[in-house]
Amino acid sequence: RHQHTVTLYAKGLTCEADTLGSCGYVYLAVYPTPETKK
């Protein structure tokens, strides 16, 4: 069972694409990227 996760950061949004080989579908999660205070 292999799980591949791709995380993209663009325009203050975080997009995670998880491909589940066992199920054969792609799960997408898009949410605002939390601002990190330095």
Question: Could you read off the pLDDT tens digit of each residue along the chain, which spans 38 residues?
Answer: 555 666 766 677 666 777 666 666 767 777 776 776 66
Type of residue numbered 15: C
Q: Pairing state of beta strands 13-20 and 3-10? A: antiparallel
pLDDT of residue 22: 66
pLDDT at 23: 66
Give the 3-state secondary structure of residue 19.
strand
Q: Quote the pLDDT of residue 24.
A: 66
Q: How high is the pLDDT of residue 28?
A: 72
**Gap between the Cα atoms of 18 and 16, Å rounded:** 6
Give this prediction's pTM: 0.30
Are the CB atoms for 26 and 17 separated by under 8 Å?
yes
Closest CA to 32 of 17, 3, 2, 11: 11
